[in-house]
Amino acid sequence: NKVELKVGLIRDCTLVAGSDKLLHSQVDLGEGRLRSIVSGVAPRFSPADLIGQRVIVVSNLRPTKLRGVLSEGMILFAESEKGFELVKIPESVVPGSTVR
């Protein structure tokens, strides 16, 4: 299967209990519900850094659990000398838009 990339809007984000690396985000992909997505970026970002950000999401991954938390996709980050960087998406791009 081809990888499906969609624009998502992070509506909420919290630290995963018992982990110093994982963040749990609630992401709007324009589906009428929020997707639960776990990312290993807590050393670089706080939940407040991510709430309200538009991100690129791999939307067709099989759901899995990380530290007991459901993850229904993967948020993509760019790597730099500082570590992970958020890929900025313009506010004019609506959640659920396809990334090509």
- 16: domain CATH number is 2.40.50.140
What is the pLDDT, as a whole number, of residue 23?
98
User: Could you tell me if residue 93 is inside a domain?
Assistant: no
pTM score = 0.94
Domain, as residue range, for 38: 5-86
User: Could you tell me if residue 75 is inside a domain?
Assistant: yes
User: Could you tell me if residue 94 is inside a domain?
Assistant: no
User: Could you tell me if residue 92 is inside a domain?
Assistant: no
Q: What percent of the chain has pLDDT over 70?
A: 100
Mean pLDDT of the chain: 96
Residue-wise pLDDT for 49-95, tens only, equals 999 999 999 999 999 999 999 999 999 999 999 888 999 899 999 99
83-86 and 74-80 beta bridge pairing: antiparallel
Tell me the CA distances in angstroms from 35 to 17, 32, 43, 80, 83, one per residue in order: 19, 10, 22, 27, 25
Q: Say whether 48 sits in a helix, a strand or coil.
A: helix
Of 64, 59, 55, 61, residue with least CA distance to 84: 55
What is the pLDDT, as a whole number, of residue 84?
86
Question: What's the structural domain count of the chain?
Answer: 1
